[in-house]
Structure 1
Amino acid sequence: MKLGLQLGYWGAQPPANAGELVAAAEAEGFDAVFAAESWGSDAFTPLAWWGSGTQRVRLGTSVVQISARTPTSCAMHALTLDHLSGGRHILGLGVSGPQVVEGWYGEPFAKPLARTREYVSVVRKVLARREPVTNPGPHYPLPYDGPGTTGLGKPLKPITHPLRDDIPIWIGAEGPKNVALSAEIADGWLAIYYSPRLAPMYDEWLDEGFSRPGARRTRADFEIAATCQVVVTDDRAGTVAGLKPVTALYVGGMGTPELNFHAQVYRRMGYGDVVDEVTRLFRAGRKDEAAAAIPDEMVTETMIVGDRDEVRAGVKRWSDAGVTMLLVSCHDAEHVRSLADVVLR
């Protein structure tokens, strides 16, 4: 099992100790460091800044939102970071949700699967640099020939030669069709709220993608990086209780009551009634009650919490289920070291 440090996205201010966390992850044998974005900080800049002090760890986005940049712009970011890091970049992509896509980026959310497929295709054409990039659309036509065009657009190749012409692309996916698409066109799956209990269901989704004509990977060389809180503690009950408010936020407060992708994941796990109750309470402003309504097993199903032996057993369970990397959040360097000691030693 590999470990990836998840820096996430910033809140009101940049994190005070991110550089310390990245340095500890490099020193302790973590495989990668990831940064995310929502509608504040971006994902590429922190990796370039804090990653400049590293030599070994891979630097990944988990995730950049495809509506935030055109595919050619995203490819420019990726080839730049890959050069600066000496070939250590992982490009993690995701569609986000309609509130962000339409409310923040001013783009339509419709057809997320088709947009993802086309986006990845254009990024790969840029990085391959075999010929001027063209794309018939309909989502990202190149050259653009729609309303208001001058007619002067021409196909281009990137001026800068990419260090690698095939930077790994991982896709953040939660639903069956998007997971299958990841297996077909990507090099890895960024999984959130992964449950080892549901591994047979995930395997069906993945195998559908692997079996499609032209699929890039097989199970043997496809990476599954799952976001997972890993906490080594002798106070398992207290720690689980402390994690419930975050679960309540994502289950009951993200997206809209009609369309919350995180809530849909928990419904597939069999927690539909709990999701309904948590959503009702959270939307009514009763956040403490929403957290209290979450059963312990709903937390521990997607996280690993316990003493050293329990954590090691949990990591083995996730590995046996097909996960190749755990994406973990750490609050300080000592937390990084403790996880490395239990998981990697």
Structure 2
Amino acid sequence: MKLGYHLGYWSSGPPEGALEAITTAEDLGFDSVWTAEGYGSDALTPLAWWGASTSRITLGTNIVQLSARTPTATAMAAMTLDHLSGGRFVLGLGASGPQVVEGWYGQPYPKPLARTREYVEIIRRVVAREEPVRFDGDQYRLPLPGGTGLGKPLKSTVHPLRPRIPLYLAAEGPKNVALSAEICDGWLPLFFSPRSDGFYRAALEEGFARRGERPGDFEVAASVPVIVHDDVEEAASWIKPSLALYIGGMGARNMNFHHDVFARMGYADVADKVQDLYLSGRKEEATAAIPTSLVEDTSLIGPPEKIRDELAAWEESVVTTILVRGDAAMLRKVAAVLS
């Protein structure tokens, strides 16, 4: 089981101690470091800025949002970062949700799977640089029909360092998970639980079957809260507010993919109650409604011995990398327990 470091979203500004944490992760032998974007900081700029102080660790985005950039712009950024990092870049992509896609980017959200499939194919063509890029899809067309009539197929002026940059897909639903196995090099799960391993394993196998093969190097890099602490309940209390936000407030009542993850996990009643409380403005009650068992199903918390015992289930799952968060001191504690 490999370890990665996930910086997560910025709040009002850059996270304090980020560079120290990244260099500490590299010194500790972590395999990768990842950045995120929502509707504030972007994922690419911090990765280039802080990544310049590293020499070995893999640099990944978790995630670049599809609607934030055209496929060709994302491909340009990927090739640029791959060159600057000496071939250490991994492009993590995700469709996000309708509130961000339509509310922030002003783009239509329907048919996210079809849009993702076309987006990935265009990136592959740009990076391969075998010929000028032509694409006639339902979501994207290159060159653009109409307009001035002067658009023509183009080929990147930059020669890629690698003709195929690793591309991972963030996905929660079974169709998206299967798509990651079919067209990508890895899957970025959120709120993974070993108890749901069979469900996700089947979705991945469906995608591999459509692909016609199961790549030996397919990666599953899961974001997993890890808190080394003698008091399990106190450790859980630090995670519950974030879970309440995602289950209750990240999306609309009739379209919240995070809520659906926990419903499939067996917490449908809890997820419904948390959502009802959160959307009615009772956020503290929503947090209190989350049982510690739910936290333990998707996290590794408690004394070192407990975490080591529970790690076995993760090692037997489809997960190949655990992505953790925290400052440099927390990373040292986590590495001491999980390494």
Q: Of the candidates 322, 325, 335, which is equivalent to residue 340 of structure 1?
A: 335
The Cα of 1:8 is off from its aligned counterpart by 1.3
The Cα of 1:173 is off from its aligned counterpart by 0.2
4+ runs of 1 displaced by more than 6 Å? none
2:39 is equivalent to residue 39 of structure 1: yes
Please provide the CA RMSD for this pair: 1.0
User: Deviations for 1:173-214, whole angstroms, at most 9, x for unmatched residues?
Assistant: 000100000000000000000010111111110100000145
Which AA in structure 2 matches 1:79? M
Task: Give the equivalent residue in structure 2 for 1:242.
Answer: 238
TM-score by length of structure 2 reads 0.98
Task: Give the equivalent residue in structure 2 for 1:254.
Answer: 250
The Cα of 1:288 is off from its aligned counterpart by 1.0
Task: Give the equivalent residue in structure 2 for 1:101.
Answer: 101
2:255 is equivalent to residue 263 of structure 1: no
Task: Give the equivalent residue in structure 2 for 1:310.
Answer: 306
Correspondences of 1:1-345 after superposition (within 5 Å): 1-146=1-146, 149-214=147-212, 217-218=214-215, 220-330=216-326, 332-344=327-339
Structure 1 unaligned segments of length 5 or more: list them.
none
Q: The residue matched to 1:170 in structure 2 has which SS?
A: strand
Aligned mates of 1:315, 1:225 — CA distance in 2: 15
Q: Contact (CA 8 Å) 2:33, 2:58: kept in 1 or not?
A: yes
Aligned mates of 1:312, 1:92 — CA distance in 2: 29
Aligned mates of 1:241, 1:153 — CA distance in 2: 56
Calculate percent identity across the aligned residue pairs.
56
User: Deviations for 1:62-89, whole angstroms, at most 9, x for unmatched residues?
Assistant: 0000010000000000000011100000
Aligned length: 339
Q: The residue matched to 1:259 in structure 2 has which SS?
A: coil
Aligned mates of 2:189, 2:180 — CA distance in 1: 11
Which AA in structure 1 matches 2:164? D
Which AA in structure 2 matches 1:343? L
Q: The residue matched to 2:210 in structure 1 has which SS?
A: coil
Q: Contact (CA 8 Å) 2:122, 2:135: kept in 1 or not?
A: yes
Q: The residue matched to 1:326 in structure 2 has which SS?
A: strand
Aligned mates of 1:5, 1:63 — CA distance in 2: 14
The Cα of 1:222 is off from its aligned counterpart by 0.9
Aligned mates of 1:315, 1:171 — CA distance in 2: 24
